[in-house]
Amino acid sequence: MMNKLVMATNNANKLREAKEILSPLGIEVLSQQEAGVNCDPDENGSTFAENAMIKAKAVYEACGLPVIADDSGLCVDALGGRPGVHSARYAPKGQECAKLLGEMKDVPDEKRTARFMCNIALITGTESRIFEGRCEGSIGYEMRGSNGFGYDPVFMVGERTMAELSADEKNSISHRGAALRELCSYLNEGNGE
């Protein structure tokens, strides 16, 4: 089994989530910066899977180590699936939740359904695969909680927002957690050498 892989990100939150889930397997997860890679490929795919693979390939070509890359976002039913693959570019950094709440202000409870989606690409040199995770929920009416990032403060899971959950609670239900667990199962079976 591999003992080291690079995550194609410099996002400290994504890196922390990956380390929390993969380190019990004895896998050291490095950021692309820690691996000496400085690239920011154009994520021009039309799906989360395409964007994840674009990032993974760019970082793999730069470092030659096994790489994982994720692309994830929020898909809101009342907005026709938006922001979707454009979640990170939907609004200026830090204003995503405010913009979303503004667009959703007249949407009734029963039509506020949404899901976080995550695709993780794995490239080992001998193979490439995609793992998918999702987390169903709804969009709240205000920002709540401080334990998350991105859209977590408005994404409701039951009576709480994702940002009101502990790290363990979030990892157990999150879209990225689900995709990482699928990846773990795959690697645990001796794949990905």
- pLDDT 10s digits, 128-161: 999 999 999 999 999 999 987 889 999 999 999 9
Catalytically annotated residues: 71
Tens-digit pLDDT profile for residues 78-130: 999 999 999 988 999 889 999 999 999 999 999 999 999 999 999 998 899 99
> Which CATH class for the 4-188 domain?
alpha beta
Per-residue confidence (pLDDT) for residue 193, from 0 to 100: 56
C-alpha–C-alpha distance, residues 185 and 1, integer Å: 12
- Average pLDDT over all residues of the chain: 92
Average pLDDT over every residue of 48-64: 95
| pLDDT over threshold 90, residue 192 | no
Angle at 183 between CA 179 and CA 184, to 5 degrees: 115
